[in-house]
Structure 1
């Protein structure tokens, strides 16, 4: 069986139905729980979990998340498209990885001349966030 969204093969018995589509588990979960970058509870939870684990900076991140963080730090501010292109990520892969960076207060988005830009969370960020700056 083939997923109607990503076209990957689905093992027998593991397909999910959603609005008349046959989906793999990953695509099904995307529909049910898309990544949310601006989530106060997730930020609080990530910060507390990292504190309890003694994590700081990029500790506890996946290699992809560390690479994205370092790219933003070295080249930023950058666009979402630049990140996706640099790391060959789909939109959902980008969103999932960026959500972690945002929840850990390592990176955030802002608008510049109508375009969403991504930069490292820094001293100039604190106290200057607006609801649109996620």
Structure 2
């Protein structure tokens, strides 16, 4: 069987039917609980886990997460579309990985002139996160 969301093969008996679609377990979980970039508990958990593992910067990230981080760092504030085009990834892949990078306080997003940009996380407290600040 093939997942109707991500087109990956589903082992027999492991498919999940949701709203008329046959989904793999990963897609089913994502439909029920989509990635949330602003999640205080996830930030606390990610920072604690990274600190306990001795990770700093891009230590412990996947290759894709490192590629996203490095692209944003090199190119300055960029749109989601620019990241997806450069790395040839889907919106779903970007959303999932951006949430992790946000939880690790490596990247953040801001809105300027009605458009959302992704940039490197900078320290500075809540005021740093105001829309339009870089």
Normalising by structure 2, we get a TM-score of: 0.89
**Cα deviation, residue 16, structure 1:** 0.5
Query: Aligned equivalents of 2:74 and 2:124: distance in 1?
Result: 17
Normalising by structure 1, we get a TM-score of: 0.89
Name structure 2 gaps, 5 residues minimum. Answer: none
Question: Aligned residues, how many?
Answer: 132
Q: Is the 8 Å Cα contact of residues 122 and 128 (structure 2) preserved in structure 1?
A: no
**Cα deviation, residue 130, structure 1:** 4.3
Q: Does 1:112 align with 2:117?
A: no
Match of 2:128, SS state, is coil
Find the counterpart in structure 1 of residue 28 from structure 2. Answer: 28
Query: Aligned equivalents of 1:49 and 1:5: distance in 2?
Result: 31
Find the counterpart in structure 2 of residue 13 from structure 1. Answer: 13
Distance 1:17 1:113, change over 3 A: same
Query: Aligned equivalents of 1:30 and 1:76: distance in 2?
Result: 29
Find the counterpart in structure 1 of residue 67 from structure 2. Answer: 67
Name structure 1 gaps, 5 residues minimum. Answer: none
Distance 1:111 1:125, change over 3 A: farther
Moved over 3 A (4+): 123-127
Q: 1:82-93 to 2 correspondence within 5 Å?
A: 82-93=82-93
Q: CA RMSD in A?
A: 1.9
Match of 1:12, SS state, is coil
Q: For each residue in 1:22-62, what CA deviation from the matched residue of structure 2 results, as whole angstroms up to 9, or x when unmatched?
A: 11122211111110100000001111111111111111111
